[in-house]
Amino acid sequence: MRVRLSLNCPFSELSVGNGIVIKRGQGWIETEETKEVRESIDKGFLEFEGRPEKKKDKKKEKTDKGEVWVFAETQHGKISRVVLELLGKGKEISGELDAKLAAVLITEKDEFSKELISYGADKVYVIEDARLKNYDTEAYTKVVSESIKKYNPQIVLYGATHIGRDLAPRIARRIDTGLTADCTGLDITEKGELLQTRPAFGGNLMAQILCKKMPKMSTVRPGVMQIPSHDGKRHGEIIKLDVGLSEKDFGISLKESAKSAKKVINLEEAEVIVSGGRGLGDKENFHKLVPALAKKLDAEIGASRAAVDSGWIEKNHQVGQTGKTVRPRVYLALGISGAIQHKAGMQNSDLIIAVNKDSSAPIFKIADYGIIADVNEFIPALIEELK
C-alpha cells in the first residue's frame, strides 16, 4: 500500500516500522501494512491509497445505529466537488462502523444518483420537485430534517460551503442535535464514536470534538478529503422520497437569477494555484507579479495570511487554517515562509514548488521543489521564459 503524512499529523516525520520513516512533504511511500501503519491510519496521521485489509478489532464496538449520510449538494448542474470528497471519507467511516453509506439528493430532476453511487454511495435518497431547482433554506431544511427523522442515520456530513453552512445549523436545531462546523478531520474512535477535528482559537490549535447526541453532524471544509476513484460498474439502491412539501414551506420566491460580473474565487477546485506571501515586499509588487504569473499558468491566485492581513488582497484568497484548504495539482508558494497555519491549508497539494530567498524557510520542508531566490526577480524571469 502507499501512504503519506496527513494534514492531522502533528509530527514532521513518523516511524511506521521496518525502519521506514515518513517525512512531511515526502509524498506517497510504498510500505507494508505494519501495526504502526494501521495505528497511524486509525489516528488520522496517515492517508493511504487502496483500502488496507481490515483486521477484526475486538476492542472496537459495533454501533449498528444507522447509516452514514452525505448531503449531495449540487450547483450549476453538477455535483459539488466536496460531495465527492465526503463520499470518500464517508465510505471509510461507514466501513469502520459496518454501516451503509447513503447520499441525500434534492433536485428538480434526478440526473446524479448513478454518479453518486459510482463514487461510493450504497444508497441515494432522492427528493424530486420542480420547486427545489434552486436552494431554498426553509424547504431544504424541512426535506432533510424529515428524512433524518424517518431513517435515523447515525452520521450526517455536509460540505462547509455557503449552502452547507446555512443549512446544517438549521437542521441541527430542528432535530435537536449538535453540529461541529468547519472540520478538517474525521475519525472513528475505539468506541465507534465520530471524532471531529477542527481549527480553534484562530487556527493556533486543533480541537477534537465528540458529540453525545444523535445523529452526529459535521460540516467539512472543501479540499481536505481525497476524492475516491470513480467506478461506473458499482450498483446501489435509489429511493424516492416524498416529504409532503406545500407552498408555505418555501420561504422565498425566486423571480430571476443573474451571474455576477465579478470573477468568483474557487481555490478549492483549482488545478493550479499561484500563491503570494510577505516576501513580495508590498502590495504593488503582489499585484504586479502574482496575477501576471497566474494568468500565464491559467491558475487561481492564493495568498498567505500575512499578505491578507497586510491588506494586499481580499481574504477570500487566503490559504491556511483560517482561510481555505486546497488540494491542487500544482501549488506555487512565492515568498511564503511556511508557517504551520499556512501549511495546514496546502500541504496535501500534489506538487508543491516553493520560492524563497531564505534557505531556512519552513516551506522548503514540505516542498517537492525548492528554489532559493528573490521572488521579485524570479517571477519576471519565469514569465519571460513562458512567453
Residue of 352, 358, 350 lying closest to 375 (CA atoms): 358
Q: What percent of the chain has pLDDT over 70?
A: 91
CA–CA distance, 309 with 338 (Å, rounded to integer) = 16
Helices (H), the chain: 35-42, 81-97, 113-118, 137-151, 162-175, 283-297, 305-309, 340-346, 375-386
CA–CA distance, 293 with 385 (Å, rounded to integer) = 11
Q: Which three cell numbers stand for residue 51?
A: 483500502
Lowest mean pLDDT among 40-54, 182-196, 286-300, 327-341: 40-54
Beta bridge partners of 332: 274, 353
3-class DSSP state for residue 239?
A: strand
Find the mean pLDDT for residues 343-361: 90
Find the mean pLDDT for residues 5-11: 71
| Mean pLDDT across the chain | 86
Q: Tell me what pLDDT residue 267 has.
A: 86
Radius of gyration over alpha carbons of the chain, in Å? 22
Q: Tell me what pLDDT residue 104 has.
A: 95
CA–CA distance, 199 with 283 (Å, rounded to integer) = 28
Q: What is the pLDDT of residues 147-163, one digit of tens each?
A: 999 999 999 999 999 99
CA distances from 77 to 83, 109, 142, 167, 219 (A): 14, 10, 22, 19, 22
Instruction: State the CB neighbour count (10 A cutoff) for residue 172.
Output: 20
Q: What is the pLDDT of residues 107-162, one digit of tens each?
A: 988 899 999 999 999 999 999 998 888 899 999 999 999 999 999 999 999 999 99
CA–CA distance, 237 with 83 (Å, rounded to integer) = 18
Q: Tell me what pLDDT residue 63 has.
A: 45
3-class DSSP state for residue 157?
A: strand
* Bridge-based pairing state of the strands 155-159 and 68-71: parallel
Please give the full DSSP string across 24-54, using - where no structure is assigned.
Answer: TT---EE----HHHHHHHHTTSEEEESPPPP
Instruction: State the CB neighbour count (10 A cutoff) for residue 3.
Output: 24
Q: Tell me what pLDDT residue 324 has.
A: 86
Environment class of residue 298 by beta-carbon count within 10 Å: exposed (0-12), middle (13-18) or buried (19+)?
Answer: exposed
Q: Tell me what pLDDT residue 114 has.
A: 94
Q: What is the pLDDT of residues 40-99, one digit of tens each?
A: 776 667 877 765 445 444 444 444 568 999 999 998 788 998 999 999 999 999 998 989
CA–CA distance, 196 with 211 (Å, rounded to integer) = 9
Environment class of residue 222 by beta-carbon count within 10 Å: exposed (0-12), middle (13-18) or buried (19+)?
Answer: buried
Entry pTM: 0.67
Residue of 228, 203, 132, 213 lying closest to 180 (CA atoms): 213
Q: What is the pLDDT of residues 248-269, one digit of tens each?
A: 888 777 777 776 655 667 788 8
Environment class of residue 178 by beta-carbon count within 10 Å: exposed (0-12), middle (13-18) or buried (19+)?
Answer: middle
- Phi, psi angles (nearest 5°) of residue 303: -155, 155
Report CA dihedral (68, 168, 149, 112) to the nearest 10 degrees.
Answer: -60
Q: Tell me what pLDDT residue 58 has.
A: 44
Q: Tell me what pLDDT residue 62 has.
A: 44
Q: Tell me what pLDDT residue 158 has.
A: 96
Cβ contacts of 112 within 8 Å, gap of 6 or more: 72, 74, 78, 79, 105
